[in-house]
Structure 1
Amino acid sequence: MSLGNWLDRAEMQVDQYGPVAGSKAALGSLVSGVSHRLSGLYPRGGTNVYDDEWDLLLVLDACRVDALEAVAPEYDFVPNAVPSIRSVAPNSHLWMERTFAARPEAVADTTYVTANGHVEDFDGDQFARLEKVYEHGFDRELETIPPRAVTDATVSALRSDATPRTIAHYMQPHTPYRSLGLDGLGGGDDKAFRETVWDWILAGKLSRDEAWEHYLDNLRWVLDDVELLLRSVDADRVVVTADHGEAYGEWGAYGHSATGEFDGLRRVPWVVTDATDDGEYEPTAAESDDEQVDVDEQLKYLGYV
């Protein structure tokens, strides 16, 4: 976010929420934006996912370890005490940069099925196969790419022409939250200002605990599809992880544009399981959409303004 964009956004926040709440939300946006830029300059280590062995890597975008532990009793493949690693980055773009650039030989043997449009900033030819789910899977009503689009593309890829490694990158539990309704990654017709869940929290329109419940609902949404995927493909070693976590009030930060050393943002799950195809599920073939929302606009819906 440029300084000019921030000033425009700050003015709209003050108009929308009033001088006190609007100034608080604007300050949060400024801190987040500055921290985001600094995070690219000062990497703080972490474990590259290619440092371990796996056949299938399932990336749940913005998934916290404690959130996965909160719903663990509902899913047989998730242990109550969730193992974890430290992510190489606090956001998706940096995660892709630091993950793929560091392991070109491994990447060349990888199929990447992704709902995350940030991959557009990288050379797609580096992968053995790149499935851009965001080109056909965006749901206008939900303002995101639902998990099923990623599941279907992954099942089709693994049943047709499997490579040594496959990564399936889901968007959930990342905002927007399906159970929140107009969760705010909308903001009306004014594309210069899209309210976010974090704006709502900072402005006092939504409590942190209320937002957390919506976040857990989004996590269940994607985990239900992970369950389906695990019984629809064959893979000896499957890892469920995340590109990064989510700040949920630590040091006053929300979301994941901000950098930080706290576990909620940088420590991510590392759950090892396996998958066996029972042959019962048939994925729906992707259909092209001439009116598909473009990548830049999708990223705005996801909160990247």
Structure 2
Amino acid sequence: MRRQMVLSSVLGPIQKRIHGNDGEYVMDADWDNLLILDGCRYDVFTQIHAKQSLEGELTTFQSRGSSSAEFMIENFGGRTYNDTVYVTANPHEKRVLDGSFYHTDRAWVDAWSEEDGIVLPEDLSKRARSVHEEYPNKRLIVHFMQPHVPFIGETQLTVNSRVTSGLREMMRDDADSDPDGDFEFAWEALRRGEIEEGVFWEAYRDNLIRVLDTAIPLSEKLPGKTVITADHGNAIGEWATPFPMPVYFHPSNVRIPSLNTVPWFVPPYTERKPIVRSEPSSDASDRTTESDDTVTERLVALGYTD
């Protein structure tokens, strides 16, 4: 959407010039396994943490990105980590990273659910366990796509029927909107008031619960210190300075707490994983083949447009 482009290309550089990037580098943090939730707000995670009485220590972390691509570039871009393997459901990495890890398993290529329009957390967890067994002495990063839409939790927000039809009519003559992707429709519908905020966040919370129901058991099965965090949050109309413009979704380069303050949750652990740094591997990329069209198709399914 044009609004997102303005925020990323105009507001972002101004904020960066004034404040810089005060985010933390995840690769410098202390962990053996890093489970990344995509687009997870700290405040919503806190609600679920309290409601479910999750065992472990919860603090905050300042992300260096307000979008997945920015997060990846800031933390992994232009560097090589031969002590780390990466299992990801997020297609952005194919566009912005180039052999950053000892091995990359692109689950978004061949574990993609056409029915759900995303890699299901249960399927990604299976891939993660398999990669761990193959590389037991490497740090492990697992990048889930939830709670990012599409919503696959108990409350599923469908924006394909009357709401979408109505939005299509409004968007035809609205240069501030983009007619591609249900994800854009969901956030545009929320901004316009076509979807009740409470209903939207109920679906968002249920999506977070869905992924935590997989991520928590995964953390218990993996040896070593596991941290559950997020690449960025999501904005729901919070104001960004110095421009009086409400922010929705997660445009790149924008610095506001709802986007950059993310959870840093450490479940209990009893042992540390012995980590070995190796020489670069000929297996540094994934074992699947994919075209640029596949990357584009997956990103469009998640609501991103070129």
Q: Tell me if TM exceeds 0.5.
A: yes
* Residue matched to 1:223: 212
* Residue matched to 1:301: 301
Deviation at 1:202? 2.2
Distance of 1:214 and 1:130 partners within structure 2 = 31
Structure 1 pair 184/59, CA: closer, same or farther in 2 (3 Å)? farther
Q: Does the 8 Å contact 1:233/1:276 carry over to 2?
A: no
- Higher mean alpha-carbon deviation, 174-183 vs 37-46, is at 37-46
Counterpart pick for 1:65 among 35, 42, 45: 42
Q: Deviations over 1:264-296 (max 9, x none)?
A: 11101111224589xxxxxxxxxx899xx9221
* Residue matched to 2:91: 117
Distance of 1:242 and 1:303 partners within structure 2 = 19
**1:96-175 alignment, distance < 5 Å:** 96-101=72-77, 104-105=79-80, 107-175=81-149
Q: Does the 8 Å contact 1:84/1:269 carry over to 2?
A: yes
* Residue matched to 2:228: 240
Structure 1 pair 128/75, CA: closer, same or farther in 2 (3 Å)? farther
Counterpart pick for 1:193 among 172, 180, 186: 180
Structure of higher RCO (CA pairs closer than 8 Å, 6+ residues apart): 2
**Corresponding letter in the other structure for 1:35:** L
Structure 1 pair 38/132, CA: closer, same or farther in 2 (3 Å)? farther
Q: Does the 8 Å contact 1:40/1:94 carry over to 2?
A: no
Structure 1 pair 78/300, CA: closer, same or farther in 2 (3 Å)? farther
Q: Does the 8 Å contact 1:39/1:90 carry over to 2?
A: no
Q: Deviations over 1:96-142 (max 9, x none)?
A: 0010137x35x221100000001112444231110000011211221
Secondary structure class of the residue paired with 1:84: strand
Distance of 1:54 and 1:163 partners within structure 2 = 13
Structure 1 pair 172/276, CA: closer, same or farther in 2 (3 Å)? farther
Secondary structure class of the residue paired with 1:245: coil
Secondary structure class of the residue paired with 1:99: helix
Q: Does the 8 Å contact 1:112/1:168 carry over to 2?
A: yes
- Higher mean alpha-carbon deviation, 190-199 vs 137-146, is at 190-199
Q: Unaligned 5+ residue runs, structure 1?
A: 1-28, 278-287
1:30 aligned onto 2:7: no
Percent of aligned pairs sharing the same letter: 28
Distance of 1:97 and 1:259 partners within structure 2 = 12
**1:38-77 alignment, distance < 5 Å:** 38=10, 41=13, 42=16, 44-72=21-49, 73-77=51-55
Q: Does the 8 Å contact 2:70/2:253 carry over to 1?
A: no
Compute the TM-score of the two structures, normalised by the length of structure 2: 0.76
Structure 1 pair 218/301, CA: closer, same or farther in 2 (3 Å)? same
Structure 1 pair 230/297, CA: closer, same or farther in 2 (3 Å)? same
Q: Unaligned 5+ residue runs, structure 2?
A: 173-177, 240-245, 272-287
**Corresponding letter in the other structure for 1:249:** G
Compute the TM-score of the two structures, normalised by the length of structure 1: 0.76
Distance of 1:295 and 1:141 partners within structure 2 = 17
Q: Deviations over 1:146-205 (max 9, x none)?
A: 111210111111122224311000000011112325345996999953342111112322
Q: Does the 8 Å contact 1:176/1:184 carry over to 2?
A: no
* Residue matched to 1:284: none
* Residue matched to 2:282: none
Distance of 1:78 and 1:206 partners within structure 2 = 35
Structure 1 pair 255/192, CA: closer, same or farther in 2 (3 Å)? closer
**Corresponding letter in the other structure for 2:156:** L
Distance of 2:100 and 2:268 partners within structure 1 = 27
Q: Does the 8 Å contact 2:121/2:214 carry over to 1?
A: yes
Secondary structure class of the residue paired with 2:47: helix
**Corresponding letter in the other structure for 2:181:** R
Secondary structure class of the residue paired with 1:159: helix
Distance of 1:112 and 1:118 partners within structure 2 = 13
* Residue matched to 2:266: 272
